[in-house]
Structure 1
Amino acid sequence: MVVVEEEDNQSEEEEIVTEQFVDEEDDDGLLLFPAHLSHSLRELFIVDCPELILALVTEHEEETGRHGLQALRSLESLEIRWCSKFLSAYKSSSSFGFPPFLEDLDMYDEDGIFEMHSRTELFIKGGDSTCEALWPLLTQDQLSSLKVKKSNFFCRLGGLQEEQLLLLKRSFKPWKLDTDDMSGFLVKPICSLLSSSLTRLQFGGNDEVEHFTEEQEEALQLLTSLQDLQFYTCKKLQCLPMGLHRLTNFKKLKIKDCPSIRIRSLPLLSSLEQLKVKDCKKLQRHLTQLHTLTNLKKLKICDCSSIRSLPLPSSLEQLKVKDCKKLRYLFAELHTLTNLKTLEIVNCPSIRSLPKGGLPSSLEELDVSDCGNKKLKQRCSKLMGTIPNIIL
């Protein structure tokens, strides 16, 4: 079944059976779109057509945009369900092209769920995700963000032949990746493939991994462009991978809802410019080493209920402290942080006063609107006129 919505003033979708679309059909189930839909079709929904194949585009047709999906120049949304052969003609081709205004592509079948948004973001979820089925999507130069959940995608990707890997390396260059498959991703063939493009890596939703193996840590070292590393909801993860300080572009670290994690090597991460920590119970004791991060500019600490004080580096420009119920003192020498511009205190009821030495003259914004303590608000109100922006 094929459901379409055209660009005119139709109020309802018009359902057209497959035979009405067919200009030519052979034994392999090849379907060609008729020309009259090229400037009117906005939405296309194809379901349960197991023999349907999108025809290969010749070089001339690719240049003119008069064939296949490229011919549907008004198409904005494409959803394909249970059509396992739809992209099978493109298993090793990089010539696949999207219609110029296509924003959303959703594909569902027994191999999993694949969603692409704005031709730049690809989400792979579940199933036995074969790289052949995804080849036309992976080889798009515009792909910038990849999210892989509950899938063996990386295992399949690492098993590609050398010729395919070389082709993929030229076109597959996402700068952002989010996955729960740490062990599948952290292998040398995969990390080598993304060494020059990947700048943000997010590991999340994994309740199994406790430590990184030596081989995985070596693979991570291949990500020479990595700037931003994030861990979230990794319940059993006990430590960060070793050698992060050797990644010369590494600047941002975010850890959220990882109750078992520790950072004994925090002083080694001297290149860090941004650090965000939320709800990490065992990490709190290591925050006493924050002053060793001599390049740190932005610090955000949330839901660290047992932390009592924060020794801060002089390089700090922005500080946000939230939901730290036992935190009583920010930093006795806060006035010496001559680069600090923004200070925000949210729901920290034990902080009743500012440090005796006062605040740095560089401060441009002080936000205590949700601090959770009336006395602190009263004392900050007396600073009106000395700080450009005070939010009470």
Structure 2
Amino acid sequence: MEGIETLAPLSNLTSLEKLSIWELGDDFRCDGLLPLLTEGQLNTLQVRNTPVFFAGIQGPAPAPAQAVSKLQKLDTDDIAQVLAAPICGLLSSSLTELYFCNDNEVERLSKEQEEALSLLTSLQDLQFVCCSKLRCLPAGLHKLTNLKRLNITLCPAMRSLPKNGLPTSLQEFDVHGCGNEKLKQRCRRLMGSIPLISL
């Protein structure tokens, strides 16, 4: 995609259902994504190694309040950019699966990021995989009342569970590969309240 710095040339592909963006450089932005999300059929988006991709959604012209996304699954390595109010507000009624993989920067979520995450009221599946510096789960996780699956895999710095607990809707909780005995002990205390726990 040499010479292309945004998704604008693809913005008229309204039948597109899945889109993967890998290693498109430090300047590639999401301009042109909004029509795919709100006017098209895009339901699955994967963005990796494209560090400023989501920054455009957070710019001075946010999505209109009436814009409704159809995106159901988002897979990215960019926790900090995705967990922003403009993005989470746009995806709040549609997103059911959110995967954060290989984010080696974020240690903990800011208050603003936790508030943005709580906007994703349709979320059923949340995964943090190979997020090497992430030390704790979001404090407001209990607000995600539709969350059924929570996966924290290969996150060696993970130390604690949220003080306010986990959503009562949770059916599966997976913390394998984290290697922290205190975390495992805390998870063992949840056995019986969550049907399936993998340590």
Shorter-chain TM-score tier:
0.7 to 0.9
1:281 counterpart = 2:179? yes
Matches within 5 A, 1:121-160: 121-125=18-22, 126-127=24-25, 128-134=27-33, 137-139=36-38, 141-151=40-50, 152-159=52-59
1:252 counterpart = 2:149? yes
- Given that residues 131 and 157 in structure 1 are in contact (C-alpha distance below 8 angstroms), is that contact kept between their aligned partners in structure 2? yes
Query: What secondary structure is seen at the aligned counterpart in 1 of 2:128?
Result: strand
Structure number with greater CO (CA < 8 Å, separation at least 6) is 2
Question: How far, CA to CA, are the matches of 2:7 and 2:108 in structure 1?
Answer: 39
Opposite residue 275 of structure 1, the aligned amino acid is: F
> Tell me, which stretches of 5 or more residues in structure 1 are unaligned?
1-80, 99-118, 302-392
Question: How far, CA to CA, are the matches of 2:48 and 2:66 in structure 1?
Answer: 21
Question: How far, CA to CA, are the matches of 2:65 and 2:115 in structure 1?
Answer: 24
Matches within 5 A, 1:1-392: 81-82=1-2, 84=4, 96-97=13-14, 119-125=16-22, 126-127=24-25, 128-134=27-33, 137-139=36-38, 141-151=40-50, 152-159=52-59, 161-162=61-62, 165-166=63-64, 169-170=67-68, 172-265=69-162, 268-269=165-166, 270-282=168-180, 283-291=183-191, 294=193, 296-301=194-199
Question: How far, CA to CA, are the matches of 1:263 and 1:177 in structure 2?
Answer: 25
* Greater Rg by CA: 1
1:283-305 CA-partner distances (Å, limit 9, x unpaired):
323223123x52x223333xxxx
Higher strand share: 1
Question: How far, CA to CA, are the matches of 2:5 and 2:198 in structure 1?
Answer: 48
Question: How far, CA to CA, are the matches of 2:175 and 2:14 in structure 1?
Answer: 42
Opposite residue 120 of structure 2, the aligned amino acid is: L
TM-score (norm: length of structure 1): 0.44
Opposite residue 297 of structure 1, the aligned amino acid is: P
> Tell me, which stretches of 5 or more residues in structure 2 are unaligned?
none
Opposite residue 177 of structure 2, the aligned amino acid is: D
Question: How far, CA to CA, are the matches of 1:132 and 1:237 in structure 2?
Answer: 29
231 and 88 in structure 1: CA distance in 2 versus 1, 3 angstrom threshold: closer
TM-score (norm: length of structure 2): 0.83
Q: Percent of aligned positions with the same letter in both sequences?
A: 42
Query: What secondary structure is seen at the aligned counterpart in 2 of 1:255?
Result: strand
1:50-102 CA-partner distances (Å, limit 9, x unpaired):
xxxxxxxxxxxxxxxxxxxxxxxxxxxxxxx43649985776xxx5455xxxx
Deviation at 1:204, TM superposition (A): 1.2
Question: How far, CA to CA, are the matches of 1:196 and 1:134 in structure 2?
Answer: 17
Question: How far, CA to CA, are the matches of 1:298 and 1:259 in structure 2?
Answer: 21
1:158-193 CA-partner distances (Å, limit 9, x unpaired):
22625xx229923x3211111111111111111101
- Given that residues 255 and 276 in structure 1 are in contact (C-alpha distance below 8 angstroms), is that contact kept between their aligned partners in structure 2? yes
Deviation at 1:216, TM superposition (A): 0.8
Task: Count the aligned residue pairs.
Answer: 193
Opposite residue 144 of structure 1, the aligned amino acid is: N
Opposite residue 158 of structure 1, the aligned amino acid is: Q
